């Protein structure tokens, strides 16, 4: 049973990214249609993937350069770790962090440099999942293909009951159920059902709406150009395709369904093999072990994930891996001619300038603190104190009538009389 999302995803992060992908896919779709007469979402996904990875080339190259520099600086990092091994006091930990940061600055490497690309790719992957799962909700040109048929269906008397029976027969369910409250929600619900139909579902639809056979057939032909890529419906999951193929004894469909996750796995493995590895890290190095585990798990993750997500998302995954393989071959060639010693010298100069700036700034703070600090005067001698009292007494005699000083004198005289 196929489940799809009724409306656009409303998440605050993934939602806007999914809508942006939908706009881009719509423009790609119109470009292919107007220039080449091609109406195919699978090709749009491949073109979109190509554009994304072309835009990420500078970031990929920078990451690879950081990886090379990281290999070169590992001996110095290990020396620092060995130097402070077993020291858990705060002073030692702070000193170790300072020395480690100095090495990073020396080589121009960021500790989080390898995470940036992942932080960009993951939201796009999740947003692409939303788009592929319900293309008509995001790509308006695709929605227009279904609209004429939906208008005809809604004009049929008692269409709500017919649609409800049809989804039971075709075993297609919108994730949030059918919604016939308004004209817009009704139209969206029917489009969602039609988008998720397997090939035999269109024949069942003709049986449900016998008077609409012609427009159902023409819409089914258009949809075949939209959703089918190399004979596979990109809206279906490989798992559901295998089940349908087994029940219908369609072994070609089973092979095609299994090919998607297998190709995704193989392209991921090839991509990892082409990635530069740290030659200086031993088997006991924690980071090396983590990287080895990740390189083993990621292809397996894509293998199992591609079974349960729409084929369109697997197509995005495969296209991305293949493009990365080509990029990596080019970057590896460039890395061979990269003079790391020159880059390290440039980074040392940058680090030196940063230290100088930090030193100037810290001196400015220290000087400002000195200027704003109130000077503490030395205590007065007994002679100076008597002189000050005498001066105050002389000044008190000149107090004006009604002033605070006169009142203070009156209080003083009153106290002196009482003390006698």
Q: Is the pTM of this model over 0.85?
A: no
Q: Given pLDDT bands bounded at 50, 70 and 90, which one contains residue 420?
A: low
Rounded CA-CA distance 119/17 in Å is: 13
Q: Mean per-residue pLDDT for 222-226?
A: 82
Question: What percent of the chain has pLDDT above 90?
Answer: 4
Question: Which pLDDT score is estimated for 3?
Answer: 41
Question: Which pLDDT score is estimated for 333?
Answer: 81
Confirm if 7 and 137 have CB atoms less than 8 A apart.
Answer: yes
Question: Which pLDDT score is estimated for 215?
Answer: 92
3-state secondary structure of 4: strand
Reading the block at residue 67, the tokens are 């990886």
Question: Which pLDDT score is estimated for 31?
Answer: 92
Task: Say whether pLDDT at 1 is over 50.
Answer: no
Q: Count of alpha carbons within 13 Å of 416, Cβ hemisphere only?
A: 6
Q: Mean per-residue pLDDT for 205-220?
A: 89
Bigger pLDDT: 270 or 400? 270
Q: Mean per-residue pLDDT for 355-365?
A: 59
Query: Which of 312, 317, 306 is CA-nearest to residue 271?
Result: 317
Rg (CA), the chain: 37
Q: Given pLDDT bands bounded at 50, 70 and 90, which one contains residue 311?
A: confident
Question: Which pLDDT score is estimated for 353?
Answer: 72
Question: Which pLDDT score is estimated for 149?
Answer: 92
Q: Mean per-residue pLDDT for 99-127?
A: 71
Angle at 211 between CA 175 and CA 214, to 5 degrees: 85
Bigger pLDDT: 162 or 170? 162
DSSP-assigned letters across all residues of 202-227: HHHHHHHSGGGHHHHHHHHHHHHHHH
pLDDT digits (tens, 9 = 90+) for 178-206: 777 788 888 888 888 888 777 778 888 88
Question: Which pLDDT score is estimated for 99?
Answer: 81
Q: Mean per-residue pLDDT for 222-250?
A: 82
Q: Mean per-residue pLDDT for 284-292?
A: 59
Q: Mean per-residue pLDDT for 270-299?
A: 65
Q: Mean per-residue pLDDT for 32-53?
A: 89
DSSP code of residue 374: P
pLDDT digits (tens, 9 = 90+) for 270-283: 888 887 654 444 44
Averaged confidence pLDDT in the chain = 77
Question: Which pLDDT score is estimated for 418?
Answer: 61
Question: Which pLDDT score is estimated for 337?
Answer: 72
């Amino acid at each position: 049973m196929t489940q799809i999302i009724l409306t656009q995803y409303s998440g605050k992060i993934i939602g806007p990214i999914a809508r942006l992908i939908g706009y881009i896919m719509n423009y790609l779709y119109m470009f292919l249609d107007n220039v080449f007469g091609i109406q195919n979402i699978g090709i749009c996904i491949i073109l979109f993937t190509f554009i994304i990875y072309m835009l990420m080339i500078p970031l990929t190259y920078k990451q690879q350069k950081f990886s090379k520099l990281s290999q070169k600086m590992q001996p110095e990092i290990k020396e620092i770790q060995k130097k402070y091994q077993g020291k858990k006091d705060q002073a030692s930990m702070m000193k170790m962090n300072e020395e480690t940061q100095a090495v990073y600055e020396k080589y121009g490497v960021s500790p989080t440099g390898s995470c940036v690309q992942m932080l960009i790719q993951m939201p796009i992957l999740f947003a692409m999942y939303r788009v592929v799962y319900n293309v008509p909700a995001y790509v308006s040109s695709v929605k227009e293909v279904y609209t004429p048929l939906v208008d005809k269906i809604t004009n049929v008397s008692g269409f709500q009951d017919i649609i409800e029976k049809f989804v039971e027969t075709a075993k297609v369910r919108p994730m949030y159920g059918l919604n016939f409250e308004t004209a817009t929600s009704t139209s969206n619900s029917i489009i969602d059902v039609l988008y998720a139909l397997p090939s035999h579902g269109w024949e069942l639809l003709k049986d449900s709406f016998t008077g609409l056979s012609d427009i159902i057939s023409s819409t089914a032909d258009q949809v075949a150009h939209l959703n089918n890529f190399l004979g596979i419906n990109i809206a279906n999951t490989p798992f559901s395709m295998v089940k349908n193929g087994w029940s219908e004894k369609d072994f070609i469909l089973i092979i095609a369904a299994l090919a998607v996750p297998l190709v995704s796995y193989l392209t991921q493995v090839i991509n990892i093999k082409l990635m530069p590895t740290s030659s200086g890290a031993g088997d006991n190095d924690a980071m090396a072990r983590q990287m080895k585990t990740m390189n083993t798990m990621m292809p397996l993750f894509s293998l199992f994930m591609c079974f349960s997500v729409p084929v369109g998302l697997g197509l995005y995954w495969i296209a991305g891996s293949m493009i990365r393989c080509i990029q990596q071959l080019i970057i590896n060639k460039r890395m061979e001619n990269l003079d790391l010693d020159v880059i390290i010298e440039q980074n040392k100069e940058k680090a030196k300038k940063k230290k100088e700036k930090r030193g100037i700034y810290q001196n400015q703070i220290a000087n400002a603190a000195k200027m704003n600090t109130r000077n503490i005067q030395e205590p007065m001698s007994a002679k100076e104190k008597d002189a000050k009292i005498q001066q105050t007494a002389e000044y008190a005699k000149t107090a004006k009538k009604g002033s605070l000083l006169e009142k203070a004198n009156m209080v003083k005289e009153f106290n002196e009389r009482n003390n006698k």
